[in-house]
Amino acid sequence: EVQLVESEGGLVQPGGSLRLSCAASGFTFSDHYMDWVRQAPGEGLEWVGRIRDKANSYTTQYAASVKGRFTISRDDSKNSLFLQMNSLKTEDTAVYYCARVGRNSGSYRWGQGTLVTVSS
């Protein structure tokens, strides 16, 4: 069974930094692209970014709203995904989901999510 477990989020001041992690199990982590998706309170889903697999040189792609501030990385030896968030803004307040990208379909399997609150 696919399991994705995000680390605890938290409260961060504007301009601050936070690193999220996602522990994967139940599938061959190294074979999959991995995404981060977020959901602001009471809002819809917003794609944050993607990291591809080793065969695709671990290339990354980001939404315009986070490019230059967020960095996605992975450690295939530890079945782990990371999201480094810098220069956080109040509008980054959201539940952040780790998601496995289906190899053939491009659909998502989701983690349980973790709340990040950016506020002074």
Residues that bind other proteins (CB under 8 A): 35, 37, 44-47, 50, 61, 63, 97, 102, 104-113
Residue 55 sits at φ, ψ, to 5 deg, of -60, -25
CB of residue 44 vs other proteins: minimum separation in angstroms? 4
Distances (CA, A) of 7 to 19, 26, 51, 53: 9, 18, 18, 22
CB of residue 89 vs other proteins: minimum separation in angstroms? 19
CB of residue 120 vs other proteins: minimum separation in angstroms? 27
CA 89 to chain centre: 17
> Residue 29: left (phi > 0), alpha (psi -120 to 50), or beta?
alpha
